[in-house]
């Protein structure tokens, strides 16, 4: 969130420069490539949306062309790497006070280069007020859109594309936000929009919704009556007063009427019997704070009861609240939550949205972009360019409560492929990818944030080293360091900024920041070298395995998988070894492994299962490049194929750390097939299929996987899922329940985590699970 000066807006890009502390081009990012606009103007805030194309570098790999050569050179790498420019789509949303609208429009006008449209979609009450100004400044025709349609479209969009969008508010928790896992089917739900009045809408599908009720008693009532009672004209100041007030000084409670007899009626003595009831009989002045608090309770309770009645009438248990009355204010969320909980006896939940303020702008944009069908794509929040949710508790963050002059940003990147649930999840609606919630666990949060801070020097060094020919690599790496460091500090104070804080979100934020400064794959050269070395060892490893009797071979294959998993450049305990000892290899890694019995050891159960009939099809999520995928995973795949099991090998779509990518796996498989008839025939006959996961993360979210992978899993009838690696099988999915057999295996390469799990460094997790009948 960028703090702004308190001065007025002025009328040019220069005045915008003077009025805010962040450079305008860091707020209106990538404006020169903006193609289409939408705007939502409320009573006090403007939300601007625009679609742009983003050029960034990507590392591409391809096999060498050996035509005309007799043999491959022994020292030659297994493939070549080239860095290319790629164009992707991004949605930008900027929220700012109406005070700045003229200066912002001037800045936008001065920087528009490639816009493809002559129209700007507009919604909100201010769309009428500022229509002439927008048309004059931007030379774009204002096309006004229905407010409620835009809100619904925006709400559907964030619920589908942002995993931790919805949260419940718990006043006594630290932190106060509790994020919900998005239900795979977001419909039906109730949207209660609290603006000047209250609108209650039942949303049944993407395009079908119905206004089912409302009330004239809403945010405008609180503001208007509050102004009359306290002489305070500003909405936020009124909420400030309410947060400091004590409503029991003004309200008549049940115990004030019944005394001790309230217990016989089954009522709590602290219930409000009559809002402002004491003011009729008391001969005293009431404080502004107490009157504001009483008024807030009165209106929130009324809205809560109304919402609850409509939810019950229509058999809905999901109620989302939005509108300027909410705007992330804790005191409002607290009273709404209490009211809903009280009147529904806990059966209906009050849910709030992290990006509630952007719904209208998102919806207006989607309306204007319907010909491009943006809903056919999946979108992902770009943490590097988004402000995140900020606590606006007056007692926690007084500087941020003064909302005058704050710019808030959200960026969404269009993903190349649509993402869906893995069909093998036992219950997609209750699936939570992450094992530890760092928002909740203060000790773990402190450890991991410090861990990522301490690793930053190494990441910067690796990023610079990955681009030796670049003159500005060091400068860009320094900018990356600053940006990621700032994100980590934000998360120390606001751990809920991007939803539930987890090791996965910390890793993903780092990847987003690296991409931001054109370090698409800092480990590309490391992976190239590691893959080359491992390929040379493949035949020797496979020959040694083939020489073992069946039972010995099964244990050796598992140990190979585990030893391969040691080679993780993301783990400091390993990267220190790999950098100091270039000779550290597959056999050395096996010696590092914990002796059996392992920390989690279901190997005996797995061996018994292997003595039974073969699996129909195994889905394997691979982890690291080099030794891991080539000497660990492929021999394991080869054994499954020999048993008559088909194999789907899933690798990341994009780079993260030294994880193997889909494009790298294709080349590796081609090279292995040239050496091994089992792999060769399986690829040719499509019994071995290589697919991409749709992810560019060192962790794994089984609710956001490539649609093509999900289709293949269904078609082939996969009945075994193998997840390997600390990121995919421990930080995420350790508790994931599947409706088929699963194997989760990893080597713990972090001493703090090992100790937490009751083990030591290089302890082994081998978790074989069979679903209950």
Is the CATH code 1.20.1700.10 the one for domain 436-517? yes
- Would you tell me which CATH number, out of the four given (3.40.50.10880, 3.30.230.10, 3.40.605.10, 3.40.50.2030), belongs to the domain 523-769? 3.40.50.10880
> Mean pLDDT, the chain, as a whole number?
89
* CA 427 – CA 740 distance, rounded (Å): 12
Higher model confidence: residue 575 or residue 638?
638
Q: What is the pTM of this model?
A: 0.90
pLDDT at residue 371 greater than cutoff 60: yes
**Between 325 and 606, where is the model more confident?**
606
- Residue range 366-379: mean pLDDT, rounded: 83
DSSP tag of 125:
T
Structure confidence by residue, pLDDT tens digits, 130-180: 999 999 998 889 999 999 999 999 999 999 999 999 999 988 777 788 998
pLDDT at 11: 41
Answer whether residue 738 shows pLDDT above 60. Answer: yes
Instruction: Give the three-class secondary structure for 282.
Output: coil
Burial class (CB in 10 A: 0-12, 13-18, 19+), 291: buried
Kindly state the helix (H) or strand (E) to which residue 42 belongs, with its residue range.
none
**Average pLDDT of span 295-309:** 95
pLDDT at res. 579:
78
What is the DSSP annotation of 137-188?
Answer: HH--EEEE--HHHHHHHHHHHHHHH-TT-EEEE-TTSSSSEEE-PPPSS--S
Please check whether residue 563 is in contact with residue 765, taking contact to mean a CB–CB distance below 8 angstroms.
no
Mean pLDDT of 15-30: 65
Q: Which pLDDT belongs to residue 74?
A: 59
Q: Average pLDDT in the 451-461 region?
A: 95
Question: Going by C-beta distance under 8 Å and a sequence separation of 6 or more, which residues neighbour residue 559?
Answer: 590, 593
217: Cβ contacts below 8 Å, ≥ 6 apart: 197, 198, 299, 302, 303
- The end-to-end CA distance of the chain, in Å, is 51
Which pair of structure tokens corresponds to residue 695? 């992810």
Q: What's the average model confidence in pLDDT over 640-659?
A: 97
pLDDT in tens, 64-84: 765 444 444 556 788 998 888
pLDDT greater at residue 414 or residue 45: 414
pLDDT for the residue 24:
77
Percentage of the residues of the chain whose pLDDT score is greater than 70: 93
With 60 as the cut, is the pLDDT of residue 392 above it?
A: no
Does position 225 have pLDDT exceeding 50, yes or no?
A: yes
Side-chain-facing half-sphere of 558: CA atoms under 13 Å: 25
- The better pLDDT of the pair 120, 97 is held by 120
pLDDT for position 281: 83
CA-CA distances (angstroms) from residue 451 to 291, 447, 493, 498, 574? 48, 6, 16, 19, 15
Does residue 326 carry a pLDDT above 50?
Answer: yes
Residue 680 pLDDT level (bands cut at 50, 70, 90)? very high
Looking at per-residue pLDDT, the higher value among 368 and 484 belongs to 484
Q: What confidence score (pLDDT) does residue 563 get?
A: 95
298 pLDDT band, cuts 50/70/90, is very high
Is pLDDT above 50 for 12?
no
When pLDDT is cut at 50, 70 and 90, the band that residue 113 belongs to is: low
Has domain 25-62+79-160+360-392+404-415 been given CATH number 1.20.120?
no
* Least confident piece of the model among 16-30, 174-188, 200-214, 272-286: 16-30
d(Cα 79, Cα 668) in Å, to the nearest integer?
9
The pLDDT tens digits for 553-604 are 999 999 999 999 998 887 887 888 877 787 888 999 999 999 999 999 999 9
Domain chopping of the chain, boundaries: 25-62+79-160+360-392+404-415, 166-250+286-353, 436-517, 523-769
Question: Taking residues 439-468, what's their average pLDDT?
Answer: 95
Confidence check: pLDDT of 440 > 70: yes
Percent over 90 (pLDDT), the chain = 69
8 A C-beta contact, residue 108 and residue 115: no
Same fold, 436-517 and 523-769: no
Helices (H), 676-748: 677-684, 707-716, 726
Q: Please, which residues have CB within 8 angstroms of residue 209's CB and are 6 or more apart in sequence? A: 148, 152, 191, 201, 202, 203
The arithmetic mean of pLDDT across residues 383-402, rounded, is 57
Give 246's pLDDT tier (boundaries 50, 70, 90). Answer: very high
CATH number of this structure's domain 166-250+286-353: 3.30.420.40
Q: What is the pLDDT of residue 57?
A: 83
In this model, does residue 662 exceed pLDDT 90?
yes
If one compares 432 and 283, the residue with the highest pLDDT of the two is 432
């Amino acid at each position: 969130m960028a703090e702004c000066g308190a001065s007025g807006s002025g009328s040019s890009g220069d005045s915008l420069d003077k009025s805010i502390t962040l450079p305008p081009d860091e707020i209106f990012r990538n404006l020169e490539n903006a193609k289409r606009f939408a705007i939502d103007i409320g009573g006090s805030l403007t939300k601007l949306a625009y679609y742009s194309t983003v050029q960034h570098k990507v590392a591409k790999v391809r096999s060498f062309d050996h035509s005309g050569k007799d043999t491959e050179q022994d020292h030659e790498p297994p493939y070549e790497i080239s860095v290319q420019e790629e164009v992707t789509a991004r949605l930008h949303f900027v929220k700012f006070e109406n005070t700045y609208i003229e200066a912002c429009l001037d800045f936008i006008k001065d920087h528009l280069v490639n816009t493809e449209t002559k129209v700007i979609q507009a919604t909100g009450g201010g769309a009428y007020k500022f229509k002439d100004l927008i048309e004059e400044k931007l030379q774009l025709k204002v096309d006004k859109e229905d407010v409620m349609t835009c809100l619904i479209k925006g709400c559907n969009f964030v619920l589908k594309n942002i995993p931790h969008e919805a949260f419940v508010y718990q006043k006594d928790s630290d932190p106060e936000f509790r994020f919900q896992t998005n239900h795979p089917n977001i419909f039906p739900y109730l949207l209660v929009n609290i603006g000047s009045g209250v609108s209650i809408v039942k949303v049944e599908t993407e395009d079908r919704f119905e206004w089912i009720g409302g009330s004239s008693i809403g945010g405008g009532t609180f503001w208007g009556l509050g102004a009359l009672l306290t002489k305070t004209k500003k909405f936020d100041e009124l909420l400030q007063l309410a947060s400091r007030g004590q409503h029991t000084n003004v309200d008549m409670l049940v115990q004030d009427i019944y005394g001790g007899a309230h217990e016989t009626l089954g009522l709590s003595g602290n219930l409000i019997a009559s809002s402002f009831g004491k003011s009729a009989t008391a001969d005293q002045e009431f404080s502004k704070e107490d009157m504001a608090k009483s008024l807030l309770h009165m209106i929130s309770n009324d809205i809560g009861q109304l919402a609850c009645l409509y939810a019950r009438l229509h058999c809905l248990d999901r109620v989302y609240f939005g509108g300027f009355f909410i705007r992330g204010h804790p005191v409002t969320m607290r009273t709404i939550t209490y009211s809903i909980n009280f009147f529904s006896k806990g059966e209906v939940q009050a849910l709030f949205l992290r990006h509630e303020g952007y719904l209208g702008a998102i919806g207006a944009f989607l309306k204007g972009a319907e010909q491009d069908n943006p809903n056919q794509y999946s979108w992902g929040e770009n943490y590097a360019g988004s402000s995140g949710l900020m606590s606006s508790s007056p007692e926690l963050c007084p500087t941020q409560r003064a909302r005058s002059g704050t710019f808030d940003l959200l960026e969404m990147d269009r993903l190349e492929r649509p993402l869906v649930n893995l069909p093998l999840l036992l219950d997609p609606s209750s699936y939570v990818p992450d094992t530890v919630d760092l928002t909740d666990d203060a000790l773990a949060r402190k450890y991991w944030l410090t861990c990522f801070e301490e690793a930053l020097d190494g990441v910067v060094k690796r990023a610079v080293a990955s681009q030796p020919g670049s003159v500005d690599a060091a400068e860009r790496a320094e900018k990356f360091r600053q940006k990621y460091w700032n994100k980590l500090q934000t998360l120390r104070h606001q751990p809920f900024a991007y939803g539930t804080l987890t090791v996965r979100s910390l890793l993903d934020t780092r990847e987003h920041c690296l991409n931001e400064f054109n370090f698409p794959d800092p480990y590309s050269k490391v992976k190239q070298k590691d893959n080359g070395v491992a390929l040379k060892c493949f035949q020797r490893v496979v020959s040694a395995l083939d020489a073992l009797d069946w039972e010995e071979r099964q244990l050796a294959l598992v140990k190979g998988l585990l030893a391969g998993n040691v080679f993780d450049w993301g783990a400091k305990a390993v990267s220190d070894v790999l950098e100091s000892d270039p000779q550290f290899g597959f056999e050395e890694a096996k010696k590092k492994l914990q002796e059996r019995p392992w920390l989690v050891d279901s190997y005996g159960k797995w061996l018994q299962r292997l003595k039974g009939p073969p699996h129909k099809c195994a889905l394997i999520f691979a982890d690291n490049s080099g030794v891991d995928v080539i000497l660990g995973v492929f021999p394991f795949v080869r054994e499954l194929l020999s048993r008559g099991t088909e194999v789907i090998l899933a690798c990341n779509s994009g780079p993260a750390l030294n994880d193997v990518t889909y494009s790298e796996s294709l080349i590796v498989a081609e090279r292995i097939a040239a050496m091994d008839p089992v792999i060769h025939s399986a690829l040719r006959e499509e019994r071995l299929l290589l697919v991409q996961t749709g992810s560019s993360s060192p962790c794994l979210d089984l609710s956001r996987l490539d649609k093509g992978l999900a289709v293949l899993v269904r078609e082939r009838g996969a009945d075994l899922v193998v997840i390997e690696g600390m990121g995919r099988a421990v930080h995420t999915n350790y508790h994931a329940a599947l409706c088929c057999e699963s194997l989760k295996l990893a080597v713990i390469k972090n001493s703090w985590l090992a100790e937490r799990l009751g083990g030591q460094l290089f302890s082994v997790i081998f978790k074989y699970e069979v679903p209950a009948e």
